[in-house]
Amino acid sequence: MLVLGKTFGEETILTTRASTRQDSVDRHVALWERELPWMDPLHEQVVARLMLLTKHLARSREAAFADDDLGRASFKVLLALRRLGSPYTAQPSELAEQLGLSRGALSARLSPLEEDGLIRRTTDPDDRRKVHVTLTRAGKRAFDRHGQHEGRDEAALLDTLSVADQRRLSDLLRTLVLAVEESSG
């Protein structure tokens, strides 16, 4: 159904709606539209929906961390090692740089992971001054379990859209991300 929207400036905004159902954002914008004649309702709808979805995904990720008994900081270390590919090994200085941490802060993160058997620290046999941090099988399983948990939650949200709509949404969001990346130099 085609709905004639509000006249904003010189333009008349036309919108199409697949359904007549309203969400909380529609109600929010309808209330503010009366009070804020300078507000662009379409911009507000897009931004408010992005913010609502961001909050939903953040809550979902926090719940996954709690369910998996894996903190965000620990997961980031496992992620950094996993991203390297097999044999999932790096020197602490490399990990600290990837994670934006001091070596002391990284060491504090590595100790509990080592105690839990998720990583292993070994001394380089050719240079005893060098230490290697390696993702263990248990660490790889913990990473995979958490990643799959997050993936299920994301799929539950995105699978409400067709594959074509998911691709279209991804393309539109890429355009916005590129605009942000290019403007921040």
Residue 5: its H or E element: strand 2-8
Please say if the pLDDT value at position 8 is more than 70. no
What would the mean pLDDT of 151-162 be, rounded to a whole number? 94
pLDDT digits (tens, 9 = 90+) for 54-77: 999 999 988 888 887 788 899 999
Three-class SS of residue 122?
strand
Does residue 68 or residue 156 have the better pLDDT? 156
End-to-end CA distance of the chain: 41
Separation in Å, CA 147 to CA 62, 154, 159: 12, 10, 17
C-beta separation of 80 from 90 below 8 A: yes
What would the mean pLDDT of 40-48 be, rounded to a whole number? 93
In sequence order, the β-bridge partners of residue 131 are 123
